[in-house]
Amino acid sequence: MTEKKNSWQEWWDSDACKKLQKSHQEAKERAVGKYFMLSEEDKLDMVQAICYIMCKAESEGTSHRGLMDALGIYPEGFWIDNLMDVHNALWSYYQDKKREKELKSDLDALDNVLQDVNQSQREP
């Protein structure tokens, strides 16, 4: 176990890992720079499109990979920082809404059963 831990730490401290981290940081900065170079109208369009695509996919209960597919970025999307965080947050939000809707439906059904029982007990 210690050997694996040491090899992981060695990789983390390696020049190759540092190069990968630097490349990833530069890619993020380049993407943010491109976004801020867009016109206001294009920014609004891009944000609208991304929000719509993500919320639609997540409301349908998609996976992280499914979200990347919906955005048209699979498999390269694995490298996008915080995409999994956004996926998890939206997935939780829509699952909570789904459970709330199911609970309301169950409570309504229970209320109907209780009304039927009360009604049948009143009838001679």
pLDDT digits (tens, 9 = 90+) for 46-65: 999 999 999 999 999 999 99
Bigger pLDDT: 38 vs 122: 38
Task: List the one residue out of 115, 56, 54, 124 whose CA is nearest residue 87.
Answer: 54
Whether the CB-CB separation of 91 and 58 falls below 8 Å is answered with yes
Per-residue confidence (pLDDT) for residue 68, from 0 to 100 = 95
Residue pLDDT, tens place only, 78-124: 888 899 999 999 999 999 999 999 999 999 999 999 888 888 887 76
Other CB atoms within 10 Å distance of the CB of residue 11: 10
pTM of the model: 0.72
Per-residue confidence (pLDDT) for residue 109, from 0 to 100 = 93
